Structure 1
Amino acid sequence: MSIRARAEQYLTMRRALGFTLRGEGRSLLEFADRLDRTGQPTVTIAAAVAWASEPDGITAARKRQRLAIVRGFARHLAAFDPDCQVPPPGLLPGRAHRPTPYHYSAEEVAALVHAAGTIAAPLPAATMQALISLLAASGLRVGEALALNRDDIDPHAAAVTVTGKNDQTRLVPLHPTTTQMLAGYAVRRDQLCPTPVSPGFFLTTTGRRVQHRGVHQIFTRLLAAADIHTPPGHRRPRIHDLRHTFAVNVLIDWYSAGVDVSARLPVLSAFLGHNSPESTYWYLQATPQLLALAAQRLDTAAQPSRREVTTP
């Protein structure tokens, strides 16, 4: 059996367990085709490292990601092939680093929505305005928003049914103004595209579901139109950073209101579709303002104990 056939079996098994594995699947099949093409009968550590490190200009983090894709497959294949070598963790040097996301101000979000409205084609203009507004108001992932169907949005309950990672669904409440905005977009969409070919909520001029690539390309142009620039030493702002901005703003509001953030954090984690609060804690680490508020809260909590120590 070819390595590609083994890889396809592995992907079928993982997807049956609920994993989507879109990009990872394409990468694994690319690696499997390489082995078959070069006549290698199984996975070796040398072949895995060479493939993981191959693309020009690849970052250390991406090398580790590519090697991890092979490692998972190799663990599966080793159960059938004793000659299969499993690349050990930590084989490639360097630490994983999550680049600091961009935090949009309210004025910048408004500027992006306004810039989207200047797109010449009316339906793409309306779609990008609604999409940006929804992401900023709900913290959805871009893919989650683009995967929405018409019947996923319940205007009467002011909520949206979201299918997240690994096909997990959750109900996300919406502010009445967001519900009203989406209803207005739906009317405009149906006027401009009365015979769609997709059940998707966000549509292109051809009546098909909006795709990631097109959104990212348009968003890059909107950044320039909104006069939003890349800070020195940072990566370019992304549309996904609207999700980060939403989460950070919620945490800032909680800290400013004096509520017990630790007690409420699981609620925000569930709202964002995180598996655990640990994933949400990263937002604290990534934003200086949040770190300052958390440190201030800690210092305030420690003051009574300090007075007890210093009281004669």
Structure 2
Amino acid sequence: MSANTLVRCAEEYLAMRRSLGYKLDRQGGLLLEFIAYLDDIGVDTITTEAALAWATRPAGANPIWWQRRLSVVRCFARHLKTLDPACQVPPTDLLPGGYRQRTPHLYSPAEIEALVHAAGLLAAPLQAATYQALISLLAVSGLFSGVRPCGRGSFLAFAQLRG
């Protein structure tokens, strides 16, 4: 494929994705930048080698940024593969590392009690009662944000805590 054909395919791909509700402002610019890079190095289709070389630019950037750049190429390559059998789709595990989720804080019974008490001190009575109920329900169900739900004993443990 020529650079013009790749640009046309990319624009059609972006238009299709945008019609599905995706904004793709940054991704669209990155994709066109990648196609310009392919043209500069004289490659006429997506190769894993070219995608990796482009994605890891600049050399000192954060590896998460590299993965995002490669992800843009990978999504387009999956689409382009249907039109160009010579197109290579870069594997997902090509770059090491990536986003690491922080370890969640598990609230102790004393911390939960302190949160419920602090919520009760809010000036508006309805707001205080609402937050006390919300915190209590989250605690007994084990559904604090980012934490997997607790086992069966969580309600009993909190009920014993509340007395």
In the TM superposition, residue 61 of structure 1 has moved relative to its aligned partner by 1.2
In the TM superposition, residue 39 of structure 1 has moved relative to its aligned partner by 1.9
| Paired residues for 1:1-150 under 5 Å | 1=2, 2=4, 3-97=6-100
In the TM superposition, residue 97 of structure 1 has moved relative to its aligned partner by 2.5
Partner of 1:281: 145
Question: What amino acid maps onto 1:48 in structure 2?
Answer: A
Q: Which runs of 4+ in 1 moved over 2 A?
A: 97-100, 253-259, 261-264, 298-305
In the TM superposition, residue 256 of structure 1 has moved relative to its aligned partner by 7.5
* Distance in 1 separating the partners of 2:140 and 2:45: 50
In the TM superposition, residue 57 of structure 1 has moved relative to its aligned partner by 2.0
Question: What amino acid maps onto 1:57 in structure 2?
Answer: G
Q: CA separation of 1:39/1:95 partners in 2, compared to 1, >3 Å: closer, same or farther?
A: closer
Q: Alpha-carbon deviations, 1:119-151, whole Å to 9, x = none?
A: xxxxxxxxxxxxxxxxxxxxxxxxxxxxxxxxx
Please list every run of 5 or more consecutive structure 2 residues that lacks an aligned counterpart in the other structure. Answer: 104-129
1:302 and 2:126 are equivalent in the alignment: no
Q: Tell which structure's C-alpha radius of gyration is larger.
A: 2
Q: CA separation of 1:262/1:303 partners in 2, compared to 1, >3 Å: closer, same or farther?
A: closer
Please list every run of 5 or more consecutive structure 1 residues that lacks an aligned counterpart in the other structure. Answer: 101-252, 265-276, 286-293, 306-312
- The answer (yes or no) to whether the contact 2:67–2:98 under 8 Å persists in 1 is no
Q: SS of 2:94's equivalent?
A: coil
**TM-score, L = length of structure 2:** 0.64
- The answer (yes or no) to whether the contact 1:4–1:36 under 8 Å persists in 2 is no
**TM-score, L = length of structure 1:** 0.35
RMSD: 3.5
Aligned-pair identity (%): 38
* Distance in 2 separating the partners of 1:96 and 1:66: 14
Q: CA separation of 1:303/1:257 partners in 2, compared to 1, >3 Å: closer, same or farther?
A: closer
The size of the alignment, in residue pairs, is 128
Q: CA separation of 1:62/1:263 partners in 2, compared to 1, >3 Å: closer, same or farther?
A: farther
